[in-house]
Structure 1
Amino acid sequence: MFYSFFNMFFIFTLMLGSILAVSSSFWFSAWAGLELNLISFIPLIISEKNKFSSEAALKYFLIQALGSSMIIFSSSLLLFSFTVFSISLSLALLLKLGAAPMHFWFPQVMEGMMWPQAIILMTIQKMAPLFLLSSSNSIILYLSSAFSAIIGSVGGLNQVSLRKILSFSSINHLAWMLSAILISENILLIYFVLYCFISSSVALIFFFGQFFFINHLTNSKSPNSLKILSIMSILSLGGLPPFTGFIPKWYIIQELAQFNSFILLTILVFSALLTLYFYLRLGFSILVLSSFKIKPLLQKKNKSNYEIFIFMNFFGLFLPSSIILI
C-alpha cells in the first residue's frame, strides 16, 4: 500500500490537509483543510484485498460529508446566537472525530479496513478535529468526554474482533484527550503523540502477524516473541503502570484533581479499569491458550525487528530513573 506513488501522494495531501486545518486562523480555511483530508483518505481506504473496504469508504464519506455540511450550517447560526453556533460546531467536529455520542460510525468503518488504513484513521485523522475543538463549548466537551469514557469501555467488553476492540479503545482514549482540552493544549499534545505511537505499535504488531480476531492471537503460528510483544503493547495501550501508556493519563489525573473535577475524574478512572479488563482478557488468552516455546525467543532474528516497539512501550519503566538523574 505505502509503496505506490499514488498512495504516497494521497498520504502527503492527507497530512497537508490536517496541517492546514490545525494551523488555520479562519474557519473557512480550516473547513477546506478538512475537505482536503477527506478527499485524500477515501482512495486509501479502498483495497483489493478487502471486499468490505468499499462499504467502509462509502460510510466514512457520508459521515464526513454530514459533518462538513454541519460546519457550513453552523456559520449561518452565528448571525443569531454565538452559543448556538458554538454548540452546533462542536457537535459537527465531534461527529468527524468519532467521539460519543457521535461514535456510531467509527467501529463499523474500522471493521471494514485493513490495518494500515485503520492506523491512519486512529491517529492522523483525529488530529485536525481534535485540535479544532480547543476553541469549542466547554460544556459539550465535558459531556462528550464522560460519554466517550463510558461507551468506549463498555462497548469493547463483548467484542471478539481486534479492530472493533481498538476502535472502542480509541473512543475511550478520546475521552481523556477531550478532558485534556479543558486543561491545557500542551497536555493534549503530549497525550496525542504518545497515543499515536502506542496505538500504531499495537496495530502494526497485529498487521505483521495478520491478527484480526482474538482466536488469531491464540491459534497463529507466528513467533512467540510477537505474541509476548503483543501482550506488553496491549497493556501499555490500556494505561497499566509502569508502561508508557500510563504517563499521559497520570498527567491528566493530576491536573483534573487540581481543578477539582472529581466527577469527570472518577468516570475516566473507572472506565480505564474496564478497558484494562478486556485488554487483560486478550493477554490472558494468549498466555493460557497459546503454546509457548523458549527457543524462538532467544533467536535474535525474531527480536531485532521489534526493538523500537519494545522501547516505545517500556519507556515508562525508565522514566523514574531519568527524572532522578536530571
Structure 2
Amino acid sequence: MNNKFFPSNFLFITIMFMGTMFSLSSSHWLTMWMGLELNLMGFLPLMNIKGKMLEAEASIKYFIIQSMSSSILIISSIIMYSYTLSWYSMFTNTTISYLIMMSLIMKLGGAPLHFWLPSITKQMSWSILFLILTWQKLAPLFMLSLLNTHYTPLIIISITSTMIGSIMALNQTNIQLIMTYSSISHLGWMLSMVLLNSTLTMMYFIIYIIISIPLMNMLSTNTGNQLFMLTQKNKSNNMVIISLILSLGGLPPLLGFMSKLTILISLVQMKMIMMTLLLLTGTLISLYFYLNMSLMLMIKSYLMIENPKAPKPYNPLIILNLFSSFIIYPLITMIMIYAMTILHKS
C-alpha cells in the first residue's frame, strides 16, 4: 500500500472514526470495548501506509500493547459482571477498578506504562503521529472519566506523566520524539481533572488538538525530523511556528496557557496545592526544550524566511491561538464557574 491515497484508506479511516464514536456513544462496558477493538482494526492498516519495514514493526508493537490492555479491560469487566450482574454499574470493587484504570492508562500511554509510545512514534509519518497523540486518546479518556475509583492513584499517575514526559524530552534530538514526550506531559494535566471535572479535561484536550494541527503540519514540511534541521531554510514563517511551540509550553497570553490556567484555578479551589506545584514544576522543565526548539528556529537571519503567498486552511487556528486571551479565556471562565456551581449544588 505505497500509495498515500489508496482507495481503501478511506474505508480504514471510516472504521477508525466509527469505532471511537461507538465507544463514546455507549453506556455499556462491553460495547465500549467493542468500539475500541473496531478502532484498532481500522487504525492498524493506516500505520502501514508507506509499506516500510519500520512501520510494520511499529504497527505490530502497537497491536500487541493495545490487545493486551483490551484483554485486561474485558477480563476485569467480566469479573465485575460476575459480582454485580450488570454491565452498566459503576465499579465499586477497588482491585478491579484499579485494573481497569491501568489498562486505560496503558492505552493512553500514561507515565508508568508509557514505554511503548516513543518506540513506535519515531518511525511514523507526521499524520499518523498526530492521530496516535490525539484521536486515539479520545475513547480511553472518556472511559476513564466514567470510573468510580479512588483519586489517589490517578494523582500519582498524573504527576508522574507530567514529570517523566518533561524530563525525558530534554535529551531528545528527534522532533517526533519531543512531540511524543510533550504529549505524555500534557496527558498528565488532562488526567489531573478527569475524575473531578471531565468538561475541563475535554476542553484541555480540544485546545491541545487545535494547537497540534497547524504545528505538526508545519513541522512536517521541514527537510527532516532532527532538531538541528529546524535551522535550515523552509518556506513557512518561523514566528508562527514559534508561537505554536510556546503555546504548547503554556506561555501567556497564548491558547495553551488558558487551558493550564483553568485547571490550576480548579485545583487551587479544591485545596490541592502540592499537586498544583508539582504539575507547574513539570511544565517549567518542559519549557526548556520548547524554548530550545524556538531558539533553533530563530537562529537563521530574517532574510532566509520566505513568506508563502497561498493562504493555509489552518490560519484561523493560528489566529485563535494568538488572540486566545481575548476570545477563549472569558468563555472558559464562564463554563468553569457554571460547571463548579452545578457540582457544588449536587
Q: Partner residue of 2:63? A: 61
1:139 aligns with 2:152: yes
List per-residue Cα deviations over 1:104-131 (Å, max 9, x = no partner).
1111111111000001001100000011
Counterpart CA distance in 1 for 2:323 and 2:7 is 35
Q: Partner residue of 1:318? A: 326
Q: Is the 8 A contact 1:183 1:255 kept in 2?
A: no
Q: Is the 8 A contact 1:70 1:92 kept in 2?
A: yes
One-letter identity of the residue aligned with 1:307:
N
Counterpart CA distance in 2 for 1:108 and 1:313 is 30
Counterpart CA distance in 1 for 2:137 and 2:328 is 30
Q: Partner residue of 1:240? A: 251
Q: TM-score, normalising length from structure 2?
A: 0.86
Question: Can you give the 5+ residue segments of structure 2 that lack an aligned partner in the other structure?
Answer: 84-91, 335-346
Q: Percent identity?
A: 35
One-letter identity of the residue aligned with 1:60:
Y
What's the offset of the Cα at 1:208?
2.5
User: Which stretch of structure 1 is more off in the superposition, 3-12 or 268-277?
Assistant: 3-12
Closer, same or farther in 2 for the Cα pair 1:58/1:229, shift >3 Å?
same
Q: How many residues align?
A: 319
One-letter identity of the residue aligned with 2:146:
S
1:282 aligns with 2:293: yes
User: Which stretch of structure 1 is more off in the superposition, 262-271 or 313-322?
Assistant: 313-322
Q: Is the 8 A contact 2:4 2:50 kept in 1?
A: no
One-letter identity of the residue aligned with 2:324:
G
List per-residue Cα deviations over 1:280-301 (Å, max 9, x = no partner).
001112212x23317734xx60
1:157 aligns with 2:165: no
Q: Is the 8 A contact 1:20 1:33 kept in 2?
A: yes
What's the offset of the Cα at 1:19?
1.3
Counterpart CA distance in 2 for 1:306 and 1:29 is 35
| SS of equivalent residue, structure 2 residue 67 | helix
Q: Partner residue of 2:47? A: 45
| SS of equivalent residue, structure 1 residue 301 | coil
| SS of equivalent residue, structure 1 residue 101 | helix
Counterpart CA distance in 1 for 2:224 and 2:248 is 17
Of 99, 103, 124 in structure 2, the residue corresponding to residue 92 of structure 1 is: 103
Counterpart CA distance in 2 for 1:128 and 1:248 is 20
Closer, same or farther in 2 for the Cα pair 1:312/1:122, shift >3 Å?
farther
Q: Partner residue of 1:11? A: 13
Closer, same or farther in 2 for the Cα pair 1:224/1:140, shift >3 Å?
same
Q: Is the 8 A contact 1:149 1:268 kept in 2?
A: yes
1:293 aligns with 2:303: yes
What's the offset of the Cα at 1:58?
0.8
1:171 aligns with 2:181: no
Counterpart CA distance in 1 for 2:41 and 2:329 is 46
Of 269, 280, 285 in structure 2, the residue corresponding to residue 269 of structure 1 is: 280
Counterpart CA distance in 2 for 1:102 and 1:232 is 31
What's the offset of the Cα at 1:251?
0.5
1:207 aligns with 2:215: no
Q: TM-score, normalising length from structure 1?
A: 0.91
Counterpart CA distance in 2 for 1:76 and 1:83 is 15
Superposition map of 1:303-314 within 5 A: 307-314=315-322
One-letter identity of the residue aligned with 1:261:
M
What's the offset of the Cα at 1:318?
3.2
Counterpart CA distance in 1 for 2:191 and 2:69 is 18
User: Which stretch of structure 1 is more off in the superposition, 50-59 or 85-94?
Assistant: 50-59
